[in-house]
Structure formats: C-alpha cells, structure tokens
Amino acid sequence: MRVAMYYSNKDVRMEEIPTPQIGSGELLVKVMDSGICGSDVMEWYRIQKAPRVLGHEIAGGVVEVGKEVNQYKIGDRVFVSHHVPCNTCQYCLNGYHTLCDTLRKTNFDPGGFAEYIRVPQINVDRGVFLLPQEISFEDGVFIEPLACVLRGQRLARFRPGQSVFVIGSGISGLLQIALARASGARRIVASDIDEYRLKAAKKFGADEAILARDVSSAEMREINHGKLTDLVIVCAGTISAYLQAFQSVDRGGTVLCFAPLEPGLNFVFPFFEFWNDGITLLSTYGGSPFDITTAIELIRARRLPLQEMISHRLPLEETGLGFQLVAEAKDSIKVIIEPQR
C-alpha cells in the first residue's frame, strides 16, 4: 500500500509498504480522510522518531474483521482513536485519562497518512467509534482535535458569560473560538501574527481579532470594557504567547496551556501577580473517551461550522504540500489528506 513517510517537515515521501495483516482481535480500516494536526509539524518532536508514517485524525471504513471481533463488521464507518487509556490506573480512575501510561504507549499501525491502518485489539476494545449517518468522513477528521479542545475547556471550568482570549488562530485556536461561542461566551478576542488567520477568527466567532504585536494589558482592558479576560487559551507554542497570557488574564481567571513549548525552553513568569491575583495555570493534553463521545454528538448536532474550516483537500501524494501549508501557518486552516483519492 502507499504511505506518506515523514522524514522532516520539508521531506515527506511517497513510499510503498506491505498492507498490514490483522490478528484475530483486530480490524483493518481503509483510511478515507486524515487531517494534518499542528502537532504533526512540531519538527523538534516528530523528527526524533523519523522516518515514520504520521497522522492520527482519521475516519474510514472497516474492510477486514478479525475472527474474535464481534462488535464491528465490514462496511462500518468509523473514527479510530490512536491513543487509548487502560481505564483502571490511578490516573484514569481520577479522570486524568491522558496521563495514563497505556494511552501514551498505544497507537494504530502505521499512521493515518496511509491507505490502510491496522487497529490493534486494545484500540478495537476501547478506541473505535461508529460514525452516525449524519457525520461524513470529513467531519470525522475533527473528532480527535475537537475532543482535545473540549477537554481543555472542561478542565478550565469554562462557563457561559465568561470572556475568552485565544492566542493563536490556527485550527486549534479556531476550534476553541467556535466552541466558546457555541457554549455562550460573553466576549471572545483572538490574536495571531497572520492577517489571514485573524479574518478566520472573526468568521468563526471572535468579536475582536488583533495582531499579536498589539496585545497588551491596556489593549485588552479597552476591548473588554475595562476588564481583563476570564479565560486565556494559549494555542501558540512560544514564550511571547505565554507572557501575553499573563498580561491578559483577569484576577481569578485561568490561563489554559493548550500549546506546548519545546523541552528545555523555559521562561520566568510574574509569580507574585500569579499568586496575588488568584490565577489558575492549567495544562491540557489530548482527549478522554468522554470527550470523544461528546465531540461526536456536537458534530452530529451541527453545533460548529467545521466544513467551513477545511481549506485544502489533498490526495496522498500531496501530503508533503499539506505539511508545508500547515508548517507555514499562513494561507491554510484545516488541511485534509484523502488517501483513496
């Protein structure tokens, strides 16, 4: 079968590898759509494991069923979660499924930028979700990233009527904006370094969209009628973005750390203000099974304008172009690879 093999952000090659052979408790899924995630182009992280077939935002159809699999059949339309929790460790039992050792070790084979994937038995058991008829394969690509966004806002205890500031208006930031708008945010401000993405932020629910260089406490107070922001969501993995977050969050507010910094990249933040103003600093990673099922229901209900977020649909052989578009973070929003095209 054909795969897009990742060597670096600028070196993604079309290669042929054997179609995976499944075991008795496994599934073979034909990948119909696979989204390029912002984390796929975090080269400092991905290149350590290269060469590798990436891609974890997938939707497809079951084409082969292991003899011990009873809950799925050939022809089922599915979303497959690449990481699955054990559901029994101390992290899972306390609601922190994305900290589970099992979740961090599991994956499907090889990756979503391929014609087919083998779904291991543990993923079949707890990571395969039937797509309702109302959800297309393209819609299914959004299940994983939306689950991550849902988990972040859930842990941040977002409430209707709060003000929200989203730093970074790539696809993660736009999903944060759209979800906050659908959930009753009082006022949403977005920032980015690129005008194209600022226009997208306004389109998908931001009341104000400002260039990152213009972000300041004074500017945020002017926009928010004299107040700073209840919830600041950082979707840009830069030190400057995190420093702006601390400048922008109101007393008693929360800074949600959605985007990571490269390991070893540290900075000093205003600890006294953090302590004195009762700021909550919260990190989030991935989505739990609960968040996945919630994402599916939101997509089924058409609560978010996901189709309008798709800027590029590319065949498998143009995966390299897709990586270039996402890495440049300019004239693209959601880039989807279609391996069967």
**Domain CATH for 302:** 3.90.180.10
pLDDT for 66 equals: 97
Tell whether 152 is covered by a domain: no
Domain end call among 241, 266, 283: 283
**Each residue's pLDDT tens digit, 91-128:** 999 999 999 999 999 999 999 999 999 999 999 999 99
35 and 136, same domain (yes or no): yes
Residue 127 is predicted with a pLDDT of 97
Report the chain's mean pLDDT, rounded to a whole number. 97
Instruction: Please report the pLDDT score of residue 5 as a whole number.
Output: 98
Domain of residue 254: give its range: 157-283
* Residue in this structure with the two tokens 């906050």, named with its chain if needed: 180
Nearest 5°: phi and psi at 153?
-70, -30
Buried b (16+ CB within 10 A) or exposed e, 164-196: bbbbbbbbbbbbbbbbbbebebebbbbbbbbee
Instruction: Report the C-alpha gap between 324 and 321 in whole angstroms.
Output: 5
In angstroms, the CA 183 to CA 202 distance is 16
Q: Are residues 168 and 55 in the same domain?
A: no
14: burial class by Cβ within 10 Å (0-12, 13-18, 19+)?
middle
- With the C-alpha atoms ordered 135, 297, 125, 175, is the resulting torsion angle positive or negative? positive
Q: Do both 31 and 143 map to the same domain?
A: yes
Q: Parallel, antiparallel, or unpaired for β 187-192 and 208-211?
A: parallel
Q: Report if residue 161 sits inside a domain.
A: yes
In a domain, 106, yes or no: yes
Cβ neighbours of residue 164 under 8 Å, at least 6 residues apart? 158, 176, 177, 180, 185, 187, 188, 189, 229, 230, 231, 232, 233
Q: What is the pLDDT of residue 75?
A: 98
In a domain, 94, yes or no: yes
Q: Are residues 92 and 217 in the same domain?
A: no
129 within a domain of the structure (yes/no): yes
Say if residue 48 is in the same domain as residue 76.
yes
State whether 161 and 295 are in the same domain: no
Residues 247, 223 share a domain: yes
For residues 198 and 254, membership in a common domain is answered with: yes
pLDDT of residue 239: 96
Residues 195 and 276 in one domain: yes
Residue 8 sits in the same domain as residue 105:
yes
Average pLDDT, consecutive stretches of 10 residues, N- to C-terminus, the chain (341 residues)? 98 98 98 97 92 98 97 98 97 96 97 98 98 97 98 97 98 98 98 97 98 94 94 97 97 98 92 96 96 98 97 98 95 97 90
Q: What pLDDT, on a 0 to 100 scale, did the predictor assign at position 29? A: 98
Residue 101, helix vs strand vs coil: helix
CATH at 236: 3.40.50.720
- N- to C-terminal Cα separation, the chain: 14
Which pLDDT value is given to residue 249? 98
Q: How many domains does the structure of the chain reveal? A: 2
Distance CA 59, CA 56 (A): 9
Contact between 133 and 35 (Cβ < 8 Å) = no
Kindly report the pTM of this predicted structure: 0.96
248: left (phi over 0), alpha (psi -120 to 50) or beta: alpha
Residue 90, in any domain of the structure: yes
Domain boundary among 238, 253, 283: 283
Q: Looking at 236, 264, 283, which one is the last position of a domain?
A: 283
Please give the Cα distance from 249 to 68 (Å, whole number): 53
Are 130 and 162 within one domain?
Answer: no
Residue 166 falls inside a structural domain:
yes
Mark whether 170 and 126 lie in a shared domain.
Answer: no
How far is Cα 247 from Cα 242, in angstroms, rounded to an integer?
9
